[in-house]
Amino acid sequence: MVQSMSFFLKIGLTVFLVLGAAVSYADDAYRFMEVETETFDKEDFLFPDDLAGSRLNVVYVAMSEDQDNGQYQGQVLMEWHTALAEQGVFDEQVVAYQFAVIKAPFFIKGVIRNAMRDDFDGKFPLNRSGILFVKDLEEFAETAGLALDDQATIVFLSPDGRILSVFDGEPTEAGVQEIARAAAELVLAEPATD
């Protein structure tokens, strides 16, 4: 029991939100793997290197082995974004991105991208959203320290790509307030990049 508690303290497990959890990472153990993609505005994008928040990047991640659940997560993440934007979380230093992480055969990637682009048009900036096509969902999740489950995930990344915090679940009033507070604290703690 003591070893388990020690482990959680090392990775900085923090508060549990209503219908979700928040985890802060105290070390540099977890990072997203690099994925070459194209944003929905049809521009090349190297994830996570091209994330442009000078203080904080808020990355909404819809990742599931089930298409219906992946679509559900995408809708939940849009709700999170709307609620956080209403709280004034985003500006030129704190930038939001939304990516679906999908394993798919090469011959249907264009069909998937076009269908999802239509879903995002007018709801989320196309230059900050897209699909990360990966060969192995489990490896992608494990590398970043994320659970491959049925929960929508919000990841805070530093400008240099370090995963700072992870939140999951559906938006609640308490959850929105907690994430907005965490973002404000991290903005103060993270040095700006040019």
Residue 87 belongs to a domain with what CATH number?
3.40.30.10
Within a domain: 119: yes
* pLDDT one-digit tens code per residue, 98-127: 999 999 998 999 999 999 999 999 999 999
Within a domain: 128: yes
d(CA 45, CA 51): 9
d(CA 13, CA 191): 23
Q: Is the whole model's pTM more than 0.75, yes or no?
A: yes
> For the purposes of burial, counting CB atoms within 10 Å of the CB of 2, is it exposed (0-12), middle (13-18) or buried (19 or more)?
exposed
d(CA 113, CA 48): 19
CA dist list (Å): 71 to 62, 75, 100: 8, 6, 9
Decide: 1 and 14 in contact? Cβ < 8 Å.
no
Within a domain: 36: yes
Q: Is the pLDDT of residue 13 over 80?
A: no
Q: Which structural domain, as residue segments, surrounds residue 43?
A: 2-189
Within a domain: 164: yes
Confidence of residue 11 (pLDDT cuts 50, 70, 90): very low
- The residue length of the chain stands at 194
Q: In sequence order, which residues have a C-beta less than 8 Å from that of residue 38 and are 6 or more positions away? A: 44, 45, 113, 130
Within a domain: 194: no
* pLDDT one-digit tens code per residue, 27-53: 567 899 999 999 999 999 999 999 999
How many domains is the chain built from?
1
Confidence of residue 77 (pLDDT cuts 50, 70, 90): very high
Look at 23-27, 40-44, 58-62, 187-191 and tell me which has the smallest mean pLDDT.
Answer: 23-27
Specify the pLDDT at position 84.
Answer: 97
Within a domain: 152: yes
Within a domain: 176: yes
Tokens of 138: 């489990």
Cα 68 to chain center, whole Å?
A: 19
Specify the pLDDT at position 22.
Answer: 53
